Chain A
Amino acid sequence: MKACLIVDDSRVVRSVARGIVRQLGFETAEAADGAAALEACEARMPDVVLLDWNMPVMNGLEFLHALRARPDGGRPKVVFCTSENELPHIEQALAAGADEYIMKPFDKDIVETKFTLVGVL
């Protein structure tokens, strides 16, 4: 079973995302900020990361930079999932190595599309 790491500081968003991602056939792990997400990757590198942008401690973009700097950090697909919906943000995310970008609010259709696009479904 493929693994998805859900990174979001909102417990509600994590639980919605968890429901969707499990329905799509993934095992899930969760983290509430970028630093915790890096630890989770340390323990087990996921196949895909669903990543919020604005979080305390370490934000999504900082996490992405740190992840991609790791020797094995190129492997997971990273799909941003954030309420930042302006072009410069999206461009910045892709330039930093994100594979896809979801603008909140999201639903199962959108997650499914994006996971298909990055090749994990």
Chain B
Amino acid sequence: MSPHDFAYLAGLLKQRSGLILTADKEYLLESRLRPLIRSRGLTDFREFVNALRTGDRALIDDVVEAMTTNETSFFRDIKPFQLVRSFVLPALLAARADTRQLRIWCAACSTGQEPYSLAMVLDDERVRLEGWTWQIVATDIAPSVLAKARNGLYSQFEVQRGLPTPMLLKHFTKSGDSWQLKEEMRRKVMFRTVNLLDDLRGLGRFDLIFLRNVLIYFDPPTKSVILEKVSRQLATDGFLFLGGAETVIGVTQAFEPVPDQRGIYRPTGTTPTFAVASQPARPGLAGVRA
């Protein structure tokens, strides 16, 4: 690939998705786009770039989709899901006692394991949530991962990464070599294609937002723009979860970390939830177990 073509592709990618591609990632670009080039009956990157330059929308979307990293797992990192149960839910149950409604947003949900994990946590809290309505909206830029998410069909390998076996038994049926999340759980999550660079206001306000392991792919200005837009979709007393390698510090003033709760952020100036006694940590996923 010529430096010229690389620069064009990197620029396109950044503009359309925010994803940053440094020169050392040329191999990644090559290996991920080659199948696309072939499937279009084109011969090389020069022809491919020319096709993109004509403004072929579908092809541009395919490039973005091919370049996203969709790595995810059920209950990824475990701790955030324990904290939802032990720290966030008690706070929100108190704060929303009048409306008895909760809205949750998974903002880069990939193949669905993250929003479904949250749905399983809330399902476990059925008793405390009696009489409440809750909704999980899960979005991603890539339609293909969302299609898989909607199906809720996972390989044996995928269901063994993070998912406690009691939850597998409770919420899945076996289908050939794969496992499918039961219809009643799939119904609890609404999937939509949303690019975080676009206008997010149509999504409405949320009480809890998971924005995990996606900011790492963006440059600092893009991170702060997205975090500021996301902050406008979060209730002023809501909660934001970022991935383990992500932070708001030095990126935006819109959020501040919750002291002693790694990975949780709140809109700046939120009154501390001193009334909420965090439940003691338990080993493993005991806290979110079926």
Are B161 and A119 in contact (CB-based, < 8 A)? Answer: no
Residue of A nearest to B167 (CB): A117
Give Cα distance in the complex from A113 to B156, angstroms. 14
User: B169 within 8 Å of A by Cβ?
Assistant: yes
User: A96 within 8 Å of B by Cβ?
Assistant: no
Are B174 and A119 in contact (CB-based, < 8 A)? Answer: no
The residue that B284 contacts in the complex, of A86, A109, A118, with Cβ under 8 A, is A118
Residue of B nearest to A115 (CB): B284
Give Cα distance in the complex from A64 to B85, angstroms. 32
Q: What's the nearest-Cβ distance from chain B to residue A100, in Å?
A: 5
User: B286 within 8 Å of A by Cβ?
Assistant: yes
User: A66 within 8 Å of B by Cβ?
Assistant: no
The residue that A117 contacts in the complex, of B156, B157, B164, B169, with Cβ under 8 A, is B164
Q: What's the nearest-Cβ distance from chain B to residue A34, in Å?
A: 21
Are B165 and A113 in contact (CB-based, < 8 A)? Answer: no
The 8 A CB mask of B265-284 against A (1 = contact, 0 = none) is: 00000000000000000111
Q: What's the nearest-Cβ distance from chain A to residue B23, in Å?
A: 31
Contacts of A90 in B (CB 8 A): 165, 168-169
Are A113 and B161 in contact (CB-based, < 8 A)? Answer: yes
Are B161 and A91 in contact (CB-based, < 8 A)? Answer: no
User: A3 within 8 Å of B by Cβ?
Assistant: no
| Complex interface residues of chain B between 167 and 195 (CB less than 8 A to chain A) | 168-169, 174
Contacts of A117 in B (CB 8 A): 164, 284-285
Q: Given A85-B156, A118-B284, A119-B283, do A113 and B166 touch, yes or no (CB 8 Å)?
A: no
Most buried by B among A87, A100, A102, A113: A113
Give Cα distance in the complex from A113 to B158, angstroms. 12
Q: Given A87-B169, A91-B169, do A103 and B162 touch, yes or no (CB 8 Å)?
A: no
Give Cα distance in the complex from A103 to B286, angstroms. 21
Are A101 and B165 in contact (CB-based, < 8 A)? Answer: yes
Residue of A nearest to B164 (CB): A117
Residue of B nearest to A101 (CB): B165
User: A24 within 8 Å of B by Cβ?
Assistant: no
Are B78 and A116 in contact (CB-based, < 8 A)? Answer: yes
A-B contact pairs, 5 of them (CB 8 A): A85-B156, A91-B169, A94-B165, A102-B160, A117-B164
Q: Which 7 A-B pairs have the closest CB atoms?
A: A119-B283, A117-B284, A119-B284, A101-B165, A110-B160, A117-B285, A117-B164
